[in-house]
Structure 1
Amino acid sequence: MISETTREKLPDIAGGLSVALARTFKVLEPGLKNPQTEHWERSFQIFGQLL
């Protein structure tokens, strides 16, 4: 069970992770406009190592 304080912070945490994921695409492929499956997989591999 998580505390109410932690629960209230979850949207900010999820939002921060989403922004970090988007920035990862820009680092890996600076000109990328429409990420394909291989881009998503590579980004998720990086996040898997970090988390």
Structure 2
Amino acid sequence: MDVALSEETEQRLPLIAGGLSVALAQTFATVEPDRKNPGTAQWTVAFDIFHLLL
């Protein structure tokens, strides 16, 4: 991005990234509750869901 972010926004980026990571983990748990090590197919489904939401 060629956009200048405010200092406040830059400080919040780790929180946003952390929240997205937790949401991704919860998506795996919802889509494949018994899966311990998600494979390519599960990653694809999770990313497709995120693309729809974002």
TM-score, length basis structure 2? 0.93
State how far apart, in whole Å, the 1-side matches of 2:37 and 2:9 are.
Answer: 34
State how far apart, in whole Å, the 2-side matches of 1:24 and 1:12 are.
Answer: 18
- Identical aligned residues as a percent: 57
Query: Larger relative contact order (C-alpha < 8 A, sep ≥ 6)?
Result: 1
- Please show how residues 39-50 of structure 1 align to structure 2 within 5 Å: 39-50=42-53
Cα offset, 1:46, TM superposition: 0.2
Higher helix content, 1 or 2: 1
Q: Structure 2 stretches of 5 or more lacking a match? A: none
Count of residues in Structure 1 that have an aligned counterpart in Structure 2: 51
Amino acid at match of 1:17: L
- Please show how residues 1-51 of structure 1 align to structure 2 within 5 Å: 1-51=4-54
Structure 1 runs of 4+ off > 4 angstroms?
none
TM-score, length basis structure 1? 0.98
Q: Structure 1 stretches of 5 or more lacking a match? A: none
